[in-house]
Copies of this chain bind each other. A is one copy, B any other.
Amino acid sequence: MKKNVSILSIGDELLNGFTIDTNSSWLAKEISKYDFLDVKNNLTVKDNYEEIYSSLDYLLSKNNRFIFITGGLGPTHDDITKNALMNYFDSELICDLKYMKSLEKRYPIISRELIKNQSQILAVSNIIPNSKGTAIGMALKHDGTDLFILPGVPAEMKNMYHEHVSKKFIDPFFKKKIKYITILTAGIYETKLYEILRDLIYENKENFRVSFLPSYSGVRIRLMSNNNTPLDGFKNLIIKKIDDYIFGFNDDTLEQVISKDLISNGKKIAIAESCTGGYISKKITDIPNSSNYFIGSVVAYSNLVKEEILKVNKKTLVEKGAVSSEVALQMALGVMNKFKSNIGIATTGISGPSGGTKEKPVGLIYIAIASKNCQVVKKFNLIPDREKHRRIATQVCLNMLRLFLKK
């Protein structure tokens, strides 16, 4: 039997659109790792006494095993969470002397008054210490519900959750389970994937749930177990059917996968970017130690750079145009030769909003990957929106590189 969990976020800034609440989603993801726990409600209210009282009435009526309350624990006049809880639970505020001493040591320049304020907890609660900030946290029991009151600053909240809440209050009573796995694909549409996997999904629907999550960086396939049937067997059946499209699992990224491949085969790459404008190079260098395999790039926005640095033929530029398969290939070979790499990668396209023609509309892109023995150039018509075009083109290029390295 599943137990309910609810999250209450308190803060004006969460309701005026200036701050996107990421805490609730993070907490929900943590809770989803446990069997028999289910986040049912997520409520956000202002720093307002009446709203806090009525939200507590609502959530406490829902038979929750755990309620997480975040926000409003700072020292300013806007932060009323502690006082509101004191009234609601008919308790009083007492100073945790040990915590106060530790704050005085850690923050010698903060005023004594502020430190005292930040060291107060509800008399009916137990302290949840905060090692990354000043705001003290609290745990309290009310009927069958454990309430955890944590600061809204994400780094502090997450740390207190891991250091105290999950260890003391959740892990001893609830088992963690890998209840899902995410298979990451690239280079294939959702409808096509579904066509390939439909029968397999149907045959296993008693035990497994499958969701398709399309995004600009590819379609993620999430497998969930309905009844704790181990996922591995089903996962392997799926992998067998769509192996070529799978680049990784869970939190993997294309640039990480490529990094591993390049390090293991000792190859070095260089990149010539036109429309992607540095995006691919940025992604490649997001990875620590990418200097082991990445020599460098040329962002060849003007034709002058294509000609003078990359040695693209002037005649080809005039006759075929800068956005052509011939120029893409010459750019890839040019940067490979110039930078003495094993592999050269190039993009040339029209991200828009202007620059499109009837023959070469906004969205068109050529991507080339070349080594001494093998050259590939592909043409794509991607979404004709500058930001999306560049983002998708970067992913498509990285996926082409992944497949190129597999050969």
Residues of B within 8 A of A27 (CB): 17
A31, A48, A222, A277 — most chain B CB neighbours (10 Å): A277
| Contact residues, A234-275 vs B (CB, 8 A) | 271, 273
B301 close to A290 (CB less than 8 A)? yes
A17 and B29 in contact, given A291-B302, A299-B281 (Cβ under 8 angstroms): yes
A39 touching B25 in the complex, CB below 8 Å, given contacts A296-B305, A305-B339: no
Cβ of A278 < 8 Å from any Cβ of B? Answer: yes
CB-CB nearest in chain B for A17: B29
Q: Given A41-B51, A296-B299, is A25 in contact with B32 using a C-beta cutoff of 8 Å?
A: no
Is A163 an interface residue, CB under 8 A from the partner? no
Would you call A201 an interface residue if the criterion is a C-beta within 8 Å of the partner chain's C-beta atoms? no
Q: Which residues of B contact A285 (CB under 8 A)?
A: 277-279, 299, 301, 390
Residue in B32, B45, B304 whose beta carbon sits within 8 Å of that of A17 in the complex: B32
Contact with B along A336-372 (1 / 0, CB 8 A): 0011100000000000111000000000000000000
A202: min CB distance to chain B, Å: 14
Q: Contact between A29 and B16 (Cβ–Cβ < 8 Å)?
A: yes
10 A-B pairs (CB sep. < 8 Å): A17-B30, A20-B20, A273-B278, A278-B284, A279-B282, A281-B282, A288-B352, A296-B305, A298-B298, A304-B340
A201 CB → nearest B CB, Å: 13
Whether the Cβ atoms of B43 and A41 lie closer than 8 Å is: yes
A185 at interface, CB cutoff 8 A: no
Mostly, the A contact residues are: mixed
Does A171 reach chain B (CB closer than 8 Å)? no
**How many Å from the CB of A63 to the closest CB on chain B?**
11
Within 8 A of B (CB), among A281-314: 281-282, 284-286, 288-291, 294-302, 304-305, 308-309
A291 / chain B contacts, CB cutoff of 8 Å: 301-302
- How far, in angstroms, from A340 to B18 measured CA to CA in the complex? 43
In the bound complex, residues from chain B placing their C-beta under 8 Å from that of A386 are 286, 288
Given that A281-B299, A289-B354 are contacting pairs, would A28 and B16 also be in contact in the complex, using a CB cutoff of 8 Å? yes
The answer to whether A53 has its CB under 8 Å from any CB of chain B is no
